[in-house]
């Protein structure tokens, strides 16, 4: 069994440890799961599946961050999605 795998995270090639889950990846990258969506090989994952989905060699992961913001004094919060474009 190999110790490392090759994956792409937001378009960037990375070498990662074998046996890691999506949750492990997010934790290692210091990304909190509360405000992200994760796409694994073009499939949007349910947050509850992050710990169960193991990364495999060649996987492509897109991490989408939700950023809150809004007008000063407004009780309404506006959410913007930060998406890094994928090369096609």
* Alpha carbons 72 and 8: distance in angstroms, whole number: 38
Cα 22 from chain centroid (whole Å): 7
Domain 4-82 = CATH 3.40.50.2000: no
List, for residues 15-58, the tens digit of each pLDDT value. 999 999 999 999 999 999 988 999 999 999 999 999 999 999 99
Above pLDDT 90, what percent of the chain?
68
Question: Per DSSP, what are the bridge partners of residue 17?
Answer: 4
**How does residue 71 score in pLDDT terms, banded at 50, 70 and 90?**
low
Has this prediction a pTM greater than 0.85? no
Report residue 59: phi and psi, to 5°.
-60, 150
DSSP one-letter string for 33-82 = GGGEEEEETTEEPPGGGTTT-B--TT-EEEEEEEEEE--TT-S--EEEEE
What is the model's pLDDT at position 70? 57
Cα 81 from chain centroid (whole Å): 13
What is the model's pLDDT at position 69? 64
Average confidence score pLDDT of the chain: 83
């Amino acid at each position: 069994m190999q110790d490392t795998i090759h994956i792409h995270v937001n378009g960037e090639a990375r070498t990662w440890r074998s046996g890691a889950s999506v949750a492990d990846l997010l934790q290692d990258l210091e990304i909190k799961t509360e405000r992200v969506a994760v796409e694994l090989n073009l499939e949007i994952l349910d947050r509850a599946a992050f710990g169960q989905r193991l990364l495999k060699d060649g996987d492509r992961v897109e991490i989408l961050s939700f950023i809150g913001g809004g007008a000063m004094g407004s009780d309404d919060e506006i959410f913007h999605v930060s998406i890094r474009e994928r090369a096609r």
